[in-house]
Structure 1
Amino acid sequence: MSFFSKLFGQKKSDEKPLEKRNMFNLQQDDIVTYNFEDYRVVGKINYNDHGFKWHAYQLSGINETLWLSVEMDDELYLGMYKKIKLPLKEPIAKEIEYDGIIYFLDEKGTAKVTGAGRSENLSGLTCHYFDFADEEEENFLSIEKWGSELEVSKGYTIEEYELKIIAGS
């Protein structure tokens, strides 16, 4: 072993090289900076609706938890969502008003899911989803049915340049 190897350390052969992070390979404990706030990736849900796939990363911040939605459909679509309380009854209507905005049903379906981190317990489950958009397609409501429970999130489109990723490991 040379003098410089001893001085600066030699890379162990069993260490995996750090993988450059992107929207599709975020890992638990990575840090995502958004709107001047740091969020830690604490969970991930992978959705698969008959071969069409998308992901949602659970981002835990100091004051709030956000969900980063990542979808590739000819181009990259990113959305930032936050859970809200909205009392809904089934069947889900084709129009929903929330906070003075009318949302229209855009698509619905059923997806098989796998989860990681805090979302690991969702692996193997099926989720029924209903995606709504306002008239300008700038604001969104996402409704997910897990068993008999309905979860509602409000979101909006973001651009990739608005996020900074720091690999956690």
Structure 2
Amino acid sequence: MGIFDRLKKVVKANKNANVKPQDERNIFNLKVGDIVSIEDVDYEVKGVMKLNDSGWKWTEYKIKDARQTYWLSVEEDDEIEISLSHKVTAITTEPPKKYEYEGVTYYMQEGSEAVVEDVSGKINVSKGDRVDYYEYSDSDDEKLLSIEIWDGQVEMSKGRWIETFEIEIFPGS
């Protein structure tokens, strides 16, 4: 039995403990050290970054499983939108309207500039940093691609949408 399995059992055993509703973890208030289980894969929250694009706010969690680092992006529009992505090698410096990557054609959905409002944990950005971001999806809106430009450095990631019912949260503290 691994440490995450033991942690899950302890959390489940203490579910009925005296916890105030405002203290309960949810997808909007994860903290460094929490465990997020997505489709039965456990990830530890390593960092939290809150972004703001002219009043439009969202949170990105840097999460890590046993092999790789991922980004869990959470925003509330008309509904809750959650995506899981991982970094890939950037092969462009100029974000086009349409982009082909690994045989999939992605179409730009939005692009703008955001500012980091808050950051905690192991993320290599600071409060006040700015990022130009461009979000893409395939024609079925199932596969996602993101291009971010941080102070001239291009980062690219690909991912997919996640449903809230696919997520289980185990507070780390």
Q: With structure 1 as the length reference, what TM-score do the two structures score?
A: 0.86
| Contact 1:130–1:144, Cα closer than 8 Å, also in 2 | yes
1:110 aligned residue: 113
Structure 2 spans left out of the alignment, 5+ residues:
1-18
Aligned residues: 153
Letter in 1 for 2:54: H
Regions of 4+ moved over 3 Å: none
Task: Give yes or no for the alignment of 1:158 onto 2:134.
Answer: no
Return the offset for 1:122: 2.5
Q: Larger C-alpha radius of gyration, 1 or 2? A: 1
1:97 aligned residue: 100
Return the offset for 1:120: 6.3
Alignment partners' CA distance in 1, 2:38 and 2:160: 13
Alignment partners' CA distance in 2, 1:121 and 1:100: 32
| Contact 2:133–2:148, Cα closer than 8 Å, also in 1 | yes
Q: With structure 2 as the length reference, what TM-score do the two structures score?
A: 0.84
RMSD: 1.5
| Contact 1:70–1:76, Cα closer than 8 Å, also in 2 | yes
- Any idea what SS the aligned residue of 2:23 has? coil
Equivalent residue runs for 1:54-69 within 5 Å:
54-69=58-73
Alignment partners' CA distance in 1, 2:155 and 2:126: 14
Alignment partners' CA distance in 2, 1:134 and 1:51: 27
Alignment partners' CA distance in 2, 1:164 and 1:52: 26
